[in-house]
Amino acid sequence: GENVEQHPSTLSVQEGDSAVIKCTYSDSASNYFPWYKQELGKRPQLIIDIRSNVGEKKDQRIAVTLNKTAKHFSLHITETQPEDSAVYFCAAPWGSGNTGKLIFGQGTTLQVKP
Amino acid sequence: DTAVSQTPKYLVTQMGNDKSIKCEQNLGHDTMYWYKQDSKKFLKIMFSYNNKELIINETVPNRFSPKSPDKAHLNLHINSLELGDSAVYFCASSFTQGVTEAFFGQGTRLTVV
C-alpha cells in the first residue's frame, strides 16, 4: 500500500557533525522525492528534491541520494549547525497522473547541540 | 506577499460547533491541498483540488467539506467538531499534482474543547 517509512524518528548530533535521515517508499513508479524542513511552530518548507533520473543532488551543506532499485533515498546534512534543528520530512508520490498524491514520512526530529 | 495564506492562525472552539478555515494562494498554481498534522507531527493529506475540481478525497469524515470557489481559493468547513479534530491544518498549493514543490500556508491550530 501507499507508504513512506522514515528513520530515525529522532536524531541528536553535535554541532559540526553530519546527520543522515533515510526513507523507503513503496510505489516503484514514484519519480519525485522532496525533503521538507519544519521549524517549531512554522510551516513545512522544501529544502531539496530529487527526480528519478539522477542518483544524487547537492546544495551547499545538504545532499540527497536516491537508490531506485532499493526504493530508498536519504538526506545528508554536513557540518550541522544549531539552526538545522527542526523536523525533517521526506515524501514520495503515490499514484500517477492527475490522481497522484504526496505521501509524507513520519518525520525526523533533528537536534543539533552547540 | 505571502504565497499561501490561511486564516485564522488559531481557532479554539467547543465540541459540536461548525467552523471554517480559509486559504488563498497567489502563485497561479492549479492544485491545492488540505493536510492535517496531528500531535505526533504526522502530515496526512485530506483533500486535493485541481483547477476547482476535487481530485483526492481521503478517508476523511464527511463532517469535513472542502470548497473551491476558484483555483486560487480552497476553504475547509468542519461540522459538528469533535475533540479528535484538534490538530494543525495546513493548506498547500503546487504547480502540478504531487510531483512538484508544495508551498504550505502557515497552518491553523484548531483546538476543540
Tens-place pLDDT, residues B55-84: 888 878 999 999 999 999 999 999 999 999
Query: CB A102 to CB B41 under 8 A?
Result: no
Residues of chain B with Cβ-Cβ distance to A44 below 8 Å are 43, 90, 102, 104
Residue of A nearest to B43 (CA): A104
Q: How many angstroms separate the CA of residue B77 from the nearest CA in chain A?
A: 21
| Placement of cell 491541498 in the chain | B33
pLDDT digits (tens, 9 = 90+) for A2-31: 789 999 999 999 999 999 999 999 888 888
Residue A76: pLDDT band with limits 50, 70, 90: very high
Rounded to whole angstroms, the Cα distance separating B46 from A22 reads 25
Residue of A nearest to B48 (CA): A101
- Among A89-93, B7-11, B23-27, B97-101, name the one with the lowest average pLDDT: B97-101
Residues of chain A with Cβ-Cβ distance to B44 below 8 Å are 104
- Among A7-16, B15-24, B45-54, name the one with the lowest average pLDDT: B45-54
- For residue B35, the cross-strand partners are B45, B90
- Among A39-48, B45-54, B92-101, name the one with the lowest average pLDDT: B92-101
User: What percent of chain A is predicted at pLDDT more than 70?
Assistant: 94
Q: Which is nearest to B9 in space by CA: B76, B111, B106, B99? A: B106
Query: CB B98 to CB A100 under 8 A?
Result: yes
Cell readout for A44 is: 513545512
Tell whether B105 is within 8 A of chain A (Cβ).
yes
Tell whether B60 is within 8 A of chain A (Cβ).
no
The set of residues, in sequence order, having a beta carbon less than 8 Å from that of A69 and lying 6+ positions away, is: none
The beta-carbon contacts of A42-48 under 8 Å, at least 24 apart in sequence, are A42/B106, A43/B90, A43/B104, A43/B105, A43/B106, A43/B107, A44/A89, A44/B43, A44/B90, A44/B102, A44/B104, A45/B104, A46/B101, A46/B102, A47/A88, A48/A75
Neighbours of B67 (CB within 10 A): 14
Optimal mutation site among B9, B44, B99, interface A, most CBs of chain A within 10 A: B99
Residue of B nearest to A95 (CA): B98
Q: Which is nearest to A101 in space by CA: B51, B103, B31, B90? A: B31
pLDDT of residue A96: 62
Peptide bond into A44 cis (omega under 30): no
Query: CB A93 to CB B42 under 8 A?
Result: no
Cβ-contact A46, A35 below 8 angstroms: yes
Optimal mutation site among B41, B50, B55, B57, interface A, most CBs of chain A within 10 A: B41
User: What percent of chain B is predicted at pLDDT more than 90?
Assistant: 75
The maximal CA–CA distance of chain B, rounded, in angstroms, is 38
pLDDT digits (tens, 9 = 90+) for A79-94: 999 999 999 999 998 7
Cβ-Cβ contacts under 8 Å between A and B: the total is: 56
pLDDT of residue A98: 55
pLDDT for B98 beyond 90:
no
Average pLDDT, chain A: 92
CA distances for B96 relative to A43, B11, B109, angstroms: 20, 30, 27
pLDDT for B87 beyond 90:
yes
CA dihedral A15, A59, A9, B100 (to 10 degrees): 160
pLDDT for A100 beyond 80:
no
Total number of residues shown for chain B? 113
